[in-house]
Chain A
Amino acid sequence: MPMKAAKKSDRNAIQNLICAVLLICGVVLSFVYFYRSNVTRITHQNETYIADIATQRASLVGDLFAENLAYIESSAVVLETAFQNEEVDSAKLNVEMEEQIDPVEVEKVGRLLRACEERFAFNYFRFIDLHGRDYTTGETVIAANVAEREYFSQGIRGVTGMTYILDSKVTSERQIGFYSPVYQNGEIAGFVIGFYGEDFINSLLEVSVFDHACEVLLCAQDGTIIYSTGKTAETRNYLDALSEFSFSQDTDERTVRDAFANRNDTFFSYEVDGQETVGIVSYIGSDSDFLMVLNFPAEAYQSMIRNASINGAVLLLSLIGLFLVAGIFFIVRFFLQKKKLLEEAKNSNDIHFAMSRLFENFVIVNAEKRTYHYIEGMPDVGHIPNDGAYDLFADDLLDRFPNDAERAEAAAQISFDRLTRQMNQGQDIISCNLHAPIRDEEWFTYNFIVVSRNAEGRVTEFIIARQDITGLQKKEEEIRRILERARDEAEKGNRAKSNFLSSMSHDIRTPMNAIIGYTNIALDKIDDKEMVRDSLTKIVASSHYLLSLINDVLDMSKIESGKIHLNENKCDLKKIFERIADLTRSQAGKKSLAISFDTDEVRHPYVIADELRLEQVLINIAGNAVKYTPKGGSIFIKATETEEYPEGKSRYSFSVRDTGIGMSEDFLPHIFESFSRETNSTINKIQGTGLGMAITSRLVKLMGGEISVSSKLGEGSEFVVELTFPHWESPAGSELSDSEEEAVDKAALAGRKILLVEDNDINAEIATLVLSEYGLVVDRASNGQKGVDRIVEKGGGYYDVVLMDIQMPVLNGYEATKKIRGLDTEYAKRLPIIAMSANAYEEDVRESLASGMNGHIAKPFDPQELAAELYRRIYAQ
Chain B
Amino acid sequence: MTIDMLTAYGANTKEGLQRCMNNDGFYLRLVKMIPGDGHFQKLYDAVEAGDLAAAFEAAHALKGSTGNLALTPIFAPVSELTELLRARTETDYTPLVTAIRDAQKKLCDICAD
Contacts and interface: CB of A to CB of B under 8 A. Distances in A.
A760 B67 contact: no
Interface in B19-66: 19-21, 23, 26, 30, 33-34, 37, 57, 60-61, 63-65
Contacts of B103: none
A765 B63 CA distance: 15
Interface in A759-777: 759-763, 765-766, 769-770, 773
B21 A770 contact: yes
B23 A769 contact: yes
Nearest to B34: A762
Contacts of B104: none
A838 B60 contact: yes
B26 A769 contact: yes
B72 interface: no
Contacts of A863: 19, 21
A859 interface: yes
Given A860-B67, A860-B68, A766 B20 contact: yes
Interface string A734-760: 010000000000000000000000011
A769 B20 contact: yes
A769 B20 CA distance: 7
B33 to A, nearest CB: 6
A433 interface: no
B8 to A, nearest CB: 22
Contacts of B65: 760-763
A262 to B, nearest CB: 126
B21 A807 contact: no
Contact of B21 (A759, A760, A773): A773
Interface in A770-821: 770, 773, 807, 809
B13 to A, nearest CB: 14
Contact of B30 (A766, A773, A807): A766
Contacts of B19: 766, 770, 860, 863
A769 B21 contact: yes
Contacts, number: 50
A838 B57 contact: no
A862 B60 CA distance: 19
Contacts of A773: 21
A807 B58 CA distance: 10
B6 to A, nearest CB: 15
Given A770-B21, A807-B57, A863-B21, A765 B30 contact: yes
Contacts of B82: 838
B63 A838 contact: yes
Nearest to A766: B68
Given A773-B21, A807-B57, A809-B57, A763 B26 contact: no
Contacts of A761: 33, 65
B11 interface: no
Contacts of A763: 64-65, 68
Nearest to B14: A735
B67 A838 contact: yes
A859 B64 contact: yes
Nearest to B15: A860
A191 to B, nearest CB: 151
B33 A762 contact: yes
B69 interface: yes
B21 A762 contact: no
Interface string A838-862: 1000000000000000000001100
Most interface-central of B20, B34, B65 (chain A CB within 10 A): B65
A498 to B, nearest CB: 66
Contacts of A760: 61, 64-65
Interface residues of A, number: 17
A492 to B, nearest CB: 64
B69 A762 contact: yes
Given A762-B33, A762-B68, A807 B20 contact: no
Nearest to B62: A760
Contact of B60 (A735, A762, A807, A860): A807
A766 B33 CA distance: 13
A807 to B, nearest CB: 5
Nearest to A758: B64
Contacts of A769: 20-21, 23, 26
Nearest to B33: A762
Contacts of B20: 766, 769
B84 to A, nearest CB: 14
A279 B33 CA distance: 134
Contacts of B69: 762, 766
Nearest to A837: B64
A90 B37 CA distance: 187
Nearest to A761: B33
Contacts of A809: 57
A759 to B, nearest CB: 7
Contacts of B60: 807, 838
A759 B65 CA distance: 11
Nearest to A765: B30
Interface in B62-106: 63-65, 67-69, 82
Contacts of B37: 762
A762 B30 contact: yes
A863 to B, nearest CB: 7
Contacts of A770: 19, 21
A761 B62 CA distance: 11
B108 to A, nearest CB: 16
Nearest to B69: A762
B87 to A, nearest CB: 12
Contacts of B18: 735
A856 to B, nearest CB: 16
B31 to A, nearest CB: 9
Contacts of B63: 838
Interface string A857-877: 001100100000000000000
A773 B64 CA distance: 21
A452 to B, nearest CB: 94
Nearest to B67: A860
B59 to A, nearest CB: 10
A838 B64 contact: yes
B93 to A, nearest CB: 19
Contacts of A759: 61
Contacts of A860: 19, 64, 67-68
9 contacts: A762-B30, A762-B33, A762-B65, A766-B19, A769-B26, A770-B21, A809-B57, A859-B68, A860-B67
Interface of A: 735, 759-763, 765-766, 769-770, 773, 807, 809, 838, 859-860, 863
Shortest beta-carbon contacts, A-B, top 5:
A762-B65, A860-B68, A860-B67, A763-B64, A807-B60
Given A769-B21, A838-B82, 20 more contacts: A759-B61, A760-B61, A760-B64, A761-B33, A762-B33, A762-B64, A762-B69, A765-B30, A766-B69, A769-B23, A769-B26, A807-B57, A807-B61, A807-B64, A838-B60, A859-B64, A859-B67, A859-B68, A860-B67, A863-B19
